[in-house]
Structure 1
């Protein structure tokens, strides 16, 4: 994250919000967190958001994800993460698959 927290969120400096507390503790670009800590937060937030989505997940998607961890470099795995986050933010999603 090269831009400050407020660029990505509704945080406004001086608003006394939870995000202000986080920024004060960990820096405006989370520079006081390790990569592992940032990834842990990402994992928890993704799990929470995913749990709130309608529909299920095809079993094959779990297999594809597992194969990605086995066959892709860490750099490519990070690239996949960036692509998916970008698509989720911009609303680029396939229609739900309905199995009969």
Structure 2
């Protein structure tokens, strides 16, 4: 079973925070969002984290190559499946 959105965040239910408001509106597993909306949110968060990377490590060529192949070889359904996998290990 999937963990609720606030499981990995500094979140207390009913605290009035942004995450609390998002959970109230979109559901505790973002079930009230479309897959496209979830991907867009993930993209924007990922881009923000990458752009503000304090260590500025960049992206390895292997990862860039994988992205190029993903863009050219995978259909929309497979691309979506990659983004919706759980990438955060359980504590």
* Contact 2:39-2:80 within 8 A present in 1 as well: no
The root-mean-square deviation of aligned C-alpha atoms, in Å, is 2.7
Unpaired segments of 5 or more residues in structure 1?
Answer: 91-100
Distance change (3 Å), C-alpha of 1:81 and 1:15:
closer
Unpaired segments of 5 or more residues in structure 2?
Answer: none
* Contact 1:13-1:20 within 8 A present in 2 as well: yes
* Contact 2:26-2:32 within 8 A present in 1 as well: yes
Instruction: Provide the residue aligned with 2:81 in structure 1.
Output: 78
Q: Distance in 2 between matches of 1:72 and 1:33?
A: 23
TM-score using structure 2 length: 0.71
TM-score using structure 1 length: 0.65
Structure 1 residue runs of 4 or more that deviate by more than 3 Å after TM superposition = 55-64, 72-82
Instruction: Provide the residue aligned with 2:40 in structure 1.
Output: 40
Instruction: Provide the residue aligned with 2:70 in structure 1.
Output: 68
